[in-house]
Chain A
Amino acid sequence: MKKITIATDWLDGCSGCHMSILDMDERLVELVKMGVELNATPITDFKEPTEEVDIGILEGAVSTDHHIEVVKHMRDKCKFLIAIGDCAVFGGIVTMRNYFPVEELLRRGYIETESTVNGKIPTSPEIGKHTKLAKAVNQIVKVDFYIPGCPPRADAIYYVLRELVEGRKPLLVGDLLRYD
């Protein structure tokens, strides 16, 4: 049986799309039996792909300099890149912040929120620096397939992976193509 390796990662997102991946339930086992191997994901020991994988999956918008690195790394390491969820596909809810300057955004989030006392804006180098605009993944690197949805249906993710594993070209129509 041919092994098909998949790596997933998340950017500026809510992890809802990864929840949808888990929502494939027993069909995840089915995919594994068909030869799928999850190489690196946010919920495995390896967080980022170290070697080349067949399919890369990204959730979330590109919102910081760290995200740009993650996106470029994933693009380098995978043969076929899928953007899942409205944030990765369109920019999504995250782009609401594009209406405000980054300084105002951070001040509002870390200092001015009603429940915050003596707040300060974190400056640790461990944390990415916000880019001026939050963007969809395809504004940074080439994306090979899109699964929109907020979150995308588990059915849509399963359908796409299964088509790819079996060597067909997926096409989202009907209930599998949703923006909300």
Chain B
Amino acid sequence: MALVNIKINGQPAQVEEGKTVLEVLKEIGIDVPVLCYHPKLTSIGACRMCVVETRPGVLQASCTLPVSEGMEIQTDTETVKKARKFVLNLIFSERNHYCMYCEMSGNCELQDLGYSMGLDHFELPTYITKFPVDTSHQYILVDHNRCVLCRRCIRACSEMAGHNVLGISQRGIDSMLTADLNVPLGESSCVSCGLCVQVCPTGALTDKKGVYLGTRKESELIKTICANCSVGCGIEVYKRANHIVQILGDWENPINNGVLCKLGRYEPLNDTKERITQPMIRKDGKLEPVTWEEAIDKAKEILAEKETVGYISASLPLEVLSKFKDLLGDNIGLIENTSNPIDNFGKMSDILSADKIVIIGVDLDKNFGVVGSFVKRAVFNDGELIVVDDKPNSLNKLAKLSYQMKDLDKAIGNALTGNSPIIIYSQIDKTIADSLSRISGKAKFIWLAPASNYLGAKKIGLNGSFVLKKNAYIVAPYIDKLPENLNKVILQTSYYTPAVESADIVLPSSIWLEEEGTYINIEGIEQKLVKVLTPKKGVKTNGEILSILLGR
């Protein structure tokens, strides 16, 4: 990279050509206030908070100004300081930025700017127009009164999440954040990925539930992964008093680059399914609460009969799966058992660079939403989307070609004419398996495995080749139906479902947020799940229960 000579506050410096002034200043540790700038989004120079002086009296936004030979930058002159404070005063005067009744107080970048610039009163009268508050969305609260029109949400929604739901309507002081063609957010094409809330610097876009549970500053931050599906996105969980306050996408995780889907960001916070919090044993045809000791003794009795087959969910950590194998030997099967004819795994980043993308039989707005985000981004990078689905598919509107399942080979044939085709599929039947196994050459594959640690389970040799026995020991955080024709069932699970009613022994186990261990995602990457919450009272972790049964 070529270097250019510039001066920063009178000091000569050699910096890389092509960088912006803001990037250079940040690298050498000069503090520049920013508001509309976000390191993961394209800079647009909308707020003018980051202005620097390039010639006496000439102010330019450093976030969009590339460095050039001979440039002389002043970051700390009276003119710069005055201009920045004036900009801040203008922003504070435009809408309602009274911190005392904003839930984001203590968590707000605008407030932080006020503090750091010593803003102790408003120099300009405040604008008193009442803007609407849009409560129509299930998870996101839009308070236009708090909006500074920085457009971070719009850029995040289009550039990072690929959904292109948000935009600006009107101009100047009438500018309004708008969803689709000006409909309430809850009625728009929003898929609830929540990235807009993650990047909002003020209280304009907030998480309806999380914002009332505490601020990020008051919470403990835990970096972990989402174990809801096999993509394995990096998440940052803010927790307080053993409750989740908010879940953010981890910008640094190479799998999801900060993007999440509805399931990852909102499901854990809004989980209302009833948890089981005490062991139970069927007595006279009815499940009765018992102590852990009694339940474990009874389970050991059944296991000692040597007439037990094991079923375990591949959504559990490797360590738990291994212990299960230690306990029952090879006579175990996966609840989500399936088979995949392909054993090379593409990376999520391969989607972004693909020129032809085939999606087979999966609606990525409804499941595996982060993969959907990557596909949409690829389409806006001129990637060609080919959807193969017999059912209506949300991504059809972006597809260059749509095929019925019977024309799968045609679709694949078309894709293989590209230079870097990628094929994304989830459920596999014989036709799909046959078509896929005929593909040779450069195509990459993303298999959306049916459970979060499916590849992990396969790695340690769990498969479907077991013999049916009289009894079953079933380990699954959530299961709504038990296999039939069993004598006795030990069910280790987290939630009340109809399945619980037909079990003989119920062992209450933790959910993934209370677990820790190793997961292998769809790319074959091994990641650590870090324990976020202490298990509920009366509940043991899956590993703990298996250790007791193993006598360890």
Contact = CB atoms under 8 A, between A and B. Distances in A.
B27 to A, nearest CB: 27
A93 B99 CA distance: 9
A150 B120 contact: no
A21 B125 CA distance: 28
B464 interface: no
Contacts of B114: 179
A93 B98 contact: yes
B121 interface: yes
B118 A173 contact: yes
Nearest to B123: A138
Contact of A96 (B101, B118, B122): B101
Contact of A90 (B105, B106, B118, B122): B122
A138 B125 CA distance: 10
Given A133-B128, A179-B114, A95 B98 contact: yes
B120 A92 contact: no
B527 interface: no
Question: By CB atoms of chain A within 10 A, which of B100, B105, B128, B130 has the most?
Answer: B100
A86 B125 contact: no
Given A95-B126, A99-B128, A148 B121 contact: yes
Q: Which DSSP category, helix, strand, loop or mixed, fits chain B's interface?
A: loop
A171 B101 CA distance: 25
Contacts of B115: 177-179
Contacts of A173: 118
Taking residues whose C-beta sits less than 8 angstroms from the other chain, chain B's interface range is 10 to 19
Contact of B98 (A90, A139, A147): A90
Contact of A86 (B98, B118, B130): B98
B130 A179 contact: no
Interface string A127-171: 000000100101100010011101000000000000000000001
Contacts of A178: 115
Contact of B120 (A93, A177, A180): A177
Nearest to A135: B125
A173 B118 CA distance: 7
Contacts of A78: none
Nearest to A98: B128
Contacts of A83: 121
Nearest to B106: A180
B111 interface: yes
A96 B114 CA distance: 21
A86 B122 CA distance: 11
Contacts of A179: 98-100, 105, 111, 114-115
A91 B126 contact: yes
Interface in B123-140: 125-126, 128, 130
A131 B115 CA distance: 31
A138 B120 CA distance: 12
B121 A138 contact: yes
14 contacts: A83-B121, A86-B100, A90-B122, A92-B98, A95-B128, A96-B101, A98-B128, A99-B128, A136-B121, A143-B121, A177-B118, A177-B120, A179-B105, A180-B99
Interface of B: 98-101, 105-106, 111, 114-115, 118, 120-122, 125-126, 128, 130
Interface of A: 83, 86, 89-93, 95-96, 98-99, 133, 136, 138-139, 143, 146-148, 150, 171-173, 177-180
